[in-house]
Amino acid sequence: MSGKRRYHHGDLRGALLDAAEELVREHGPAGWSLREASARVGVSPSAAYHHFPSRDALVRALSVRLLGRLGTRMADAAAPERDDARRGLVAACRAYVRWTLDDPAVARLAFGAAARDRDPDRDPDAAAPPHPHDVLDAELDRLAAAGELSAAARPAAEFAVWAAVHGVAALLADGLMTLDSPAAADRQTERVVAAVLTGLTRETAPPGAWPAPRSAHTERRAREG
């Protein structure tokens, strides 16, 4: 729904998030303001400030909501593949790419805000699982438990998979790579995941340790224990 709506009662915070999500689809990740979101809901900016003291705070909260939605989609895609850990990982990665292509402006906001969000004072929604990173972790742990990924290759393997799969999603969303159909995107994702897993199973330890990648999510997870 677009245009101004009169807000009567209930969850103002959720209504502002809904309005912001609509504005992202209409104007892109950066082409809107907290004042516009307030107007769309039909409340004053001062009412919105009780929930979000700034546009950045609203963007961070929206990113948390969207990443939770993506994580749920990935987990749901992997769930039917409980008997095949590799297929579960592929299914989760396909869902990641499909979600990005289905809603590219929203995906750009979610990923961009997540990259910047290292504030320890988290929005309450931040505790809502699952995060996409945690879904990748769980599927790779299943691969390791099934003996398809060695203990030596497991550390930070999710970053290798994530880099490859996000690359597919970003290249397609930005038009730098084109495929003929969503099914072709699924197949390309499967190929990339297979290539990464093949590399992980064949890699040899370097003279020193591999780099230890971190993300805002893993840093926050470490702080929270």
Task: Report pLDDT for 57.
Answer: 94
- 36-40, 191-195, 212-216, range with the lowest pLDDT: 212-216
Is 129 a residue whose pLDDT tops 80? Answer: no
Q: How many CB atoms lie within 10 A of CB 52?
A: 23
Residue 211 is predicted with a pLDDT of 87
Q: Would the pLDDT of 160 be above 70?
A: yes
pLDDT category of residue 1 using cuts at 50, 70 and 90: very low
Tens of pLDDT along 49-74?
A: 999 999 999 999 999 999 999 999 99
CB neighbour burial string for 123-148, b if at least 16 within 10 angstroms, e if fewer: bebbeeebbbbbbbbbbbebbbeeeb
Alpha carbons 91 and 198: distance in angstroms, whole number: 17
Comparing C-alpha atoms, which of 167, 195, 20 is closest to residue 96? 167
What is the average per-residue pLDDT within 90-108?
97
Structural domains in the chain, sorted by start: 1-53 (1.10.10), 61-224 (1.10.357.10)
Length of the chain as a residue count? 225
pTM of the model: 0.89
